[in-house]
Structures are given as structure tokens and as C-alpha cells.
Structure 1
Amino acid sequence: MTISLRAATVQFQHRANDKNYNLSTIERFIAQAAEQQVQLLAFPEMCITGYWHVRHLSDAEVRALAEPIAASPSLARI
């Protein structure tokens, strides 16, 4: 028995510390993937917050970026 799965990956230029911009970009990719009947869509790690700038943040600033998974406003959008 063969099962097919349409999968895709995404790479985009995120904006450091700009969740709204990054989430809007992610939403556009999700909509495009849905139109193409993609069943599994993979994004880079930390693409919501960006990651290159994190090493320069204080512990408090990193914690401010974090969200609890169960009540994540970012995950609720996507």
C-alpha cells in the first residue's frame, strides 16, 4: 500500500524581533500551500521571532519573546 504526502518547505527573510511581520509572511505561505494542496509544510526554527539577534538579548528580553505553548497568540494565528 502506497500513501502519498505532498510536503513543502519554506525559507524566508525574517525580521528580527518583529513577530507581526513574520507571522503575516507565514500566513501568506500557509495560504499558498493550501491552494497547492500541501499537506505538510515545514518552516525554519525560530522564524516567528527571528534568531540572529537573540544572542545579543538579555535573559529578560529573551523571556519577553517567549510564549506559553498552550496560550500562544502566535500559534493561534497560524
Structure 2
Amino acid sequence: MSTFKTLRVATVQFQHKANDKVYNLSKIHQFIDNAISEKVNVLVFPEMCITGYWHVPKLPEHAIYALSERVSN
């Protein structure tokens, strides 16, 4: 008796905008909506695609804190 199910996995690569969470999150949501329509079960995004990467080490502490997101229960 076979009980195999299909697992659809996709990866995303996109040109994020450094320090622009609103833009990056809107792009991410577009990819999520597309993945839903394609019945993707697992969607993988690049590390730090929400905030950008290379500019962060040069930011002052308050600017890094401003990039953070609260996690609520």
C-alpha cells in the first residue's frame, strides 16, 4: 500500500533593497502568493533578505535595533 505524497519545494532569489523592509517584505509576499497558487509546501528565502546584509555591520546600534522585528506570542 503506497501513501506517498508530493512535497513541492521552491527557492527564491531576488534583488533586495538594503534597509528597506517595506519593499523587501512586499516582494516576499508576492513570492508567497505565487507559491500558494503553485501549491508549494516549502518556500526558502535567502538569509537576511528582509533587511539586506552588507550595510548592517556599518550601522550604529540604534539603526540595527530599528531593523529588528518583535516576536509576539
State TM-score, norm by structure 1. 0.81
- Equivalent residue in structure 2 for 1:40, among 34, 37, 42: 42
Larger Rg: 2
DSSP 3-state at the match of 1:41: strand
**Could you tell me how far apart the structure 1 residues matched to 2:45 and 2:58 are?**
23
More helix per residue? 1
CA-to-aligned-CA distance 1:27-75 (integer Å, 9 cap, x gap): 111111111100110111111111111011011211111122227xxxx
Segments of 5+ residues of structure 2 without an aligned counterpart are: none
- Equivalent residue in structure 2 for 1:28, among 27, 30, 41: 30
RMSD: 1.4
**Could you tell me how far apart the structure 2 residues matched to 1:67 and 1:37 are?**
28
User: Which structure 1 residue ranges, 4+ long, deviate > 4 Å from structure 2?
Assistant: none
Percent of aligned pairs with the same amino acid:
55
Q: Number of aligned residue pairs: give it.
A: 71
DSSP 3-state at the match of 1:23: helix
Partner of 1:56 in structure 2? 58
State TM-score, norm by structure 2. 0.86
